[in-house]
Structure 1
Amino acid sequence: MKILGHRGLPRLYPENTMKSFLAALSYGADGLETDVRLTADGIPVLIHDADLLRLAGEDVEVGELKFKELKDFNVGGEPIPTLEEFLSAIPPGKWINLEIKEPGAGEVTVEFALSHYDGQLIFSSFEHQLINELKRKYPNAKFGYLFDERHENLTLDEVRDLFREHTFSAHLPIEFKILDSKRFSEMCNLVKSLNLKLVLWTVNEPALISDIKELVDFVITDDVRLFL
C-alpha cells in the first residue's frame, strides 16, 4: 500500500505549497497528490479551488488571472507553485497523482508532466469524459477516475464501461464506505476484479481501512505520519 500526501502535508503546512509537499516526503511518503488548474495565460499551477477566497481571502478566479498577477497572492505566506516548479523539486521515483481540475488543463498537464518527471505519474479527474479523451490520446500513461456524489447514479455496468481500456486506477472517497458500505464494497470488488488499482481519499483515520487493507493500493491522506 502506497501512502500519498493529500496536497502535501496540510496538517502542518499550507496545502499545495512546496513546504507542504516536501514535508510529506520528509516523513517517508511514497508520493504526493495535488491539483492542477490553468491561469489565464495557460500556466499550470497547483491549487484546489477555482477561486482564491478560501485560501488567500480574495474573491477572484484563478483562471481570470495571468500568472504574473497570481504571484501577488499567497497561501498562508507560501507562494502558489507552478507544475514546473513542483516537478523540478520532487525527487525522481516518487508516485505523483495529478488531479486535473478542469478540461482545459488536461493535455497541458499530461504533456508537461510526462516530459518533465522521472517517476510514476497518475492523472485523475472527476471529469470522466476528459479522462476518456486523454486515455485515447496517451494510451501508455496512467489514468484514474475520481468518484463522488456526482457519480452516485452510475450503474456498475456503466462504471465497468468507463474502465474498459487503458485505465490504471479508481479513486473513491473514504466517506463512501461510511455512507453506503454495500455500494462501496461493490465498487471495490469491481475494481479489483478488473485488476485496477484502488485509491482511497482522504483517509485520515487508519482504522477506517483496517478491514480492507488487502484491497487498497494507494491511500491519500492529509497526514502521512498516521501511516508511516
Structure 2
Amino acid sequence: MVKVLGHRGMGEGNDENSLLSLIRAVQIGADGVETDVWLTKDGSLLLAHDEDLKRLYGVDAKVKEITYKELKKIGLISDEKLTTLEKLYLELPNNAIVNVEIKDPDAAKFVGPLVNSFNAIERTIFSSFHHECLLDVKANTPDAKIGLLIGEDAKGKDPVGYLEELLNRYKPYSLHLPVQLFDEFGLETGLAFLRLLRNNGIKIALWTINDPELALKVRQHCDFFITDNLLSILALKGGR
C-alpha cells in the first residue's frame, strides 16, 4: 500500500517544517514526513524550504549566512518555528519515514552521518533536485537511499531517455515525480510510465498530490504520496 508523507509536515503554510507540524502529521496517521534541509553558517542542519527567512518570518537573511545562535537570539528557534534535523530525529517516532530533501548541496555530506547516528538510515530517503550532491550522500553513507527529484530539468526532453540516463548514473532508490506529469502525458500514459519504472525496481514518490480523486486512480502505481492535503489523502487509506 502506498505510504503517505506529510509535505513539510502538515503542509505548506505558516508552520511548515516546524517540529510541531512534522510531529502532528505522524500523530494523525501519516506514515512519515517530507522536510527540507539547509546548512547554516555555523554548520547546523536547519529545516527550511526557502533559501531565506523572508516569506515565513519577515527576516531579510539567508539561511546559509546566519548562525543557529543568531536565529535563537531573535526567537526563531522553537517547536513552532525553526528546528534542526537532529531535533526531528530525536522527537519523531522511531517508525516514521523521513524524506530529507537536500536544498543546500553543502549539507549533503553531513546528513547521512547524522541520520546514521540515530540508526534511521533504513527509514530515510535523501532526495534533491541537485542530483550530484546525492553522490556525496552515498560517499559518506553507502547504505543511504537516494531519490532523484524531477522537475523543470526534465522539460523539453524525451522522458524515457532522460530518466534512463539518470538511473544509470545515480542508481537511485526512488524517483520523485511531479503530479503534473499526468497533465502533460495524460492518465493512461502516465500510469504506463510509472509501471515501467516500478517493474525495473524503482520506487515512485509522487509530489505534491493533493487531489483525492486523482490519488485514488494512481495509488496502486506509487510507493509514496507527498501531500499538503494530508487529512483527505489519509482518508483514502481506509479503502483498498
TM-score (norm 2): 0.86
Unaligned runs of 5+ in 2: 235-240
Q: Is the CA contact 1:140–1:166 (under 8 Å) kept in the aligned structure 2?
A: no
Match of 2:238 in 1: none
CA distance in 2, matches of 1:173, 1:103: 21
Q: Is the 8 A contact 2:11 2:227 kept in 1?
A: no
Are residues 1:161 and 2:162 paired? no
Distance 1:190 1:111 in 2: 33
Give yes or no for contact 1:92–1:117 (8 Å, CA) kept in 2.
Answer: no
1:101 maps to what in 2?
103
What does 1:76-87 correspond to in 2, within 5 Å? 78-87=80-89
Q: Does 1:22 align with 2:23?
A: yes
CA contact (8 A) 1:46 1:83 kept: yes
Spell out the pairing of 1:142-181 with structure 2 (5 A cutoff): 142-155=145-158, 156-164=160-168, 166-181=171-186
- % of aligned pairs identical? 36
Residues 10 and 68 of structure 1: is their aligned pair in 2 closer, same or farther, counting only changes over 3 Å?
same
Distance of 1:28 and 1:150 partners within structure 2 = 33
1:97 deviates by 0.3
Deviates more, 1:200-209 or 1:183-192: 183-192
Which letter does structure 2 place at the counterpart of 1:141?
A
User: How far did residue 190 of structure 1 move?
Assistant: 3.8
Question: Which residue identity does 2:15 align to in structure 1?
Answer: P
Instruction: Provide the C-alpha distance between the structure 2 equivalents of 1:153 and 1:106, rounded to a whole number of angstroms.
Output: 28
In the alignment, structure 1 residue 195 sits paired with structure 2 residue 201: yes
The SS at the match of 1:212 is helix
SS in structure 1 of the partner of residue 180 of structure 2: helix
Cα distance, 1:166 vs. partner? 4.0
Q: Which residue of 1 aligns with 2:40?
A: 39
> Matched residues in 2 for 1:211 and 1:10: separation?
22
Q: 1:211 to 1:53 in 2, by over 3 A?
A: same
Amino acid at match of 1:106: A
Residue type of the alignment partner of 1:114: N
Q: For residue 133 of structure 2, what is the aligned residue in structure 1?
A: 130
* Cα 1:24/1:167, change in 2 over 3 Å: same
Aligned residues: 228
1-structure distance, mates of 2:14, 2:26: 13
Question: 1:149-199 deviations in whole A, cap 9, x for unaligned?
Answer: 122244322311322354210001112222343774464244213211110
The aligned counterpart of 2:237 is: none
1:35–1:101 contact (8 Å) kept in structure 2: yes
Task: Tell me the distance in 2 between the aligned counterparts of 1:97 and 1:87.
Answer: 12
In structure 2, the CA distance between the partners of 1:158 and 1:150, relative to structure 1 (3 Å rule), is closer
Higher deviation after alignment, 118-127 or 6-15: 6-15
Cα displacement string for residues 83-122 of structure 1 (whole angstroms, at most 9, x for unaligned residues): 1111100010111100000110101111111222435010
- Give ranges in structure 1 of 5+ residues lacking alignment: none
Shift of 1:218: 0.3
Instruction: Give 1:10 shift.
Output: 3.0
Specify whether residues 61 and 166 from structure 1 end up closer, same or farther in structure 2 by C-alpha distance, changes over 3 A only. same
Q: Is the 8 A contact 2:109 2:136 kept in 1?
A: no
Q: Assess, with a 3 A threshold, how the Cα gap between structure 1 residues 136 and 187 changes in structure 2: closer, same or farther.
A: farther
Aligned mates of 1:8, 1:76 — CA distance in 2: 15
Name the structure with the higher helix share. 2
Q: Which residue of 2 aligns with 1:6?
A: 7
SS, match of residue 20 in structure 1: helix
Aligned-partner SS, 1:79: coil
